[in-house]
Chains A and B, each alone.
Chain A
Amino acid sequence: MATNAPAALAPHGKRPIRGSWTRRTLVMVFLFLCLIYFILPVFWLIVSSTKTNADLFTTFGLWWGGRFNLFANIHDVFTYTGGVYREWLWNTVYYSVCSAVGASLIATLAGYTFAKFHFPGRQIVFAMVLGSILIPITALAVPTYLLLSNIGLINTPLAVILPSLVNPFGVYLMRIYTEQSLPDELLDAARVDGANELRIFASVVLRIVAPGFVTVLLFSFVGTWNNYFLPLLVLSKPDLYPLTVGLASWNDSASAGGGSQVLYSIVLTGALIAIIPLMAAFLLLQRYWQSGLTFGGVKT
């Protein structure tokens, strides 16, 4: 696939950036085909969640067919097994908001400190933070589980939230972002004015690094929203599940069969509802996270 790049970009022309008509057409055809690949499963999901369970099996997946059953499906999702989906949705929002706000504040504070203070141990502590990016969370799963169960946090929201507050990549991103967007003169001026360090952080730093902050916020939010492994380990009560663990458990019973065939349309509609908030967040905040990442990419 990579060979498309050289073909698509003008090899040796007078207008290297725009390219010829044929080349542009080829590029567009390639991009549109790829776009279909990325969008089609989501389109299928949308179509499927409007169908009754029987129509799922009898009508073609990529087009509307049979009865328009979306609202009945949504109703089913929210009432199935005592309306547990609502709790999952609420849990997911709760875990994600707490983790994201906490993780990005902590990462911003740490990133700012690495960027703007000279202190003994700075290099080695930062090296440790970076090194931890390379440690797979998997290696920590069992001990984290045992640790949390020793301190009695298993089956509590904190078991999901607290580990999610550690975001080494967020610290890295915020350090670079702060170095590049926050002039030292501004800090010096605030200090000369007599502002204390905490106030400087809250009123000057946070405002300047806001796009980076929003980026880390959004990616932490998504990280927790989509997290499956950690909640699977540390939560065993269905009323504490986030959507991911809940949907997977519904899927298990749907696939196990046993008269629960009806579940497919519920699982599909539940899956659709679970992804709408994130897609909306990315669309609404795209200006922020794209500029935040651009800064993160500059440093070489």
Chain B
Amino acid sequence: MALETSDTTAGSPGMGGVGRRHGRGHRFMRRIGFPYLFLSPYLILFAVFFVVPLLYALRLSLYVDRLVGGTVFVGSDNYKQVFQDSNFLEGLKRMFIFGLFQVPIMLGLALTFGLLLDGGAARFKTLFRLGFFLPYAIPSVVAALLWGYLYGGGFGLFDQIAAKLNLPGPDFLGSSDMLASLANIVTWQWTGYNMIIIYAALQAIPVDIYDAATMDGAGGWQIARYIKIPLVLPAIMLTAIFSIIGTLQLFNEPKIMYSLAPSVIGDHYTPNLYAYNVAFTNQEYNYSAAISFVLGSVAFLASYVFMLVINRRSAD
């Protein structure tokens, strides 16, 4: 797995010696006391806001809250319902289609930008780097608002341009275009961020590797294909995994779009929006927990399978 860090760099030759000189209590502190003392803020918060909610969600999802009879244990009933829930499955399918197109386009662009800005053919590199990255500094709520207004009628930019050209106005907020419109917002926001991660990895490659390859007659494209891309594959995988998880969790953009196109978005456009509405509009916390749990597992599995596939491929 790409995220794994090896053990080799962490060795500290002097540690044991110092510990021995100060006796047993000191050695205990060095071995266990200080590490766990230093980790404790993170571990405590991690337990409270990660582990406990996760277990709590699991527990919630195994019960139902009935008007008569109160909270009843129902085992896997909620899960059976989730897998037959057309609202959930529809959203999941939509996110699958979204991810199939949006993620490769975004990461392809990010990698292209990274390679171009790392290579020698482009000028004004700082301008491009900061310009492409700019949308990341904009809250997704504002990005969705902005694009929503640009898409929409009234004072929408595309409508204005279409009117100037005597063309019919586009229907970006209609049901057939909405998914692509959302994909555009996400691409706009996150391409620069992914580019920076890939670019940072590219910048870290020692230059002498290229020199050797150039001496051997390799061209720019060959260097990119056979040296740069394999070396930054872990960074690309990182961005891909974040993108897969982000896609399955899509919420902010459709939530904002709802106010602009309520009939298109509805209450279950994305699985996460559905889980939110089930919990906070219908007050069905137990069922919502089951939806979230399934969604979380799908995201976890999707990234895991993705890593396995990539690792197998790059091992061949």
Interface residues of A (CB under 8 A from B): 1-2, 4-6, 8-13, 16-19, 23-24, 27-28, 30-31, 34-35, 37-39, 41-42, 44-45, 48, 56-57, 60-62, 105-107, 109-110, 112-120, 122-123, 125-126, 128-130, 132-147, 162-163, 165-166, 168, 171-172, 175-176, 179-180, 184-185, 187-188, 191-192, 197, 201, 222, 225-226, 228-229, 232-233, 243-245, 247-248, 251-252, 255-256, 264, 267-268, 271, 274-275, 278-279, 281-283, 286, 290, 293-300
Contacts and interface: CB of A to CB of B under 8 A. Distances in A.
What's the dominant secondary structure at chain A's contact region?
Answer: helix
Contact of A188 (B9, B12, B137): B12
A298 to B, nearest CB: 4
Interface of B: 2-5, 7, 9-15, 18, 29-32, 34-36, 38-39, 41-43, 45-46, 48-50, 52-54, 56-57, 60, 104-105, 108-109, 111-113, 115-116, 119-123, 127-128, 130-143, 145-147, 149-150, 154-157, 160, 164, 188, 191-192, 196-198, 200-204, 210, 214, 218-225, 231-235, 241, 245, 248-249, 251-252, 255-256, 259-260, 272, 275-276, 279-280, 285, 288-289, 292-293, 295-297, 299-300, 303-304
Contacts of B109: 1-2, 34
A142 B292 contact: yes
Contacts of A23: 121
A165 to B, nearest CB: 5
6 nearest interchain CB pairs? A139-B296, A188-B14, A297-B201, A2-B108, A9-B220, A17-B120
Nearest to A24: B121
11 contacts: A1-B112, A5-B116, A13-B220, A31-B116, A61-B157, A105-B41, A133-B241, A135-B50, A139-B295, A179-B9, A185-B14
A91 B57 CA distance: 29
Contact of B137 (A5, A180, A197, A282): A282
A142 B288 contact: yes
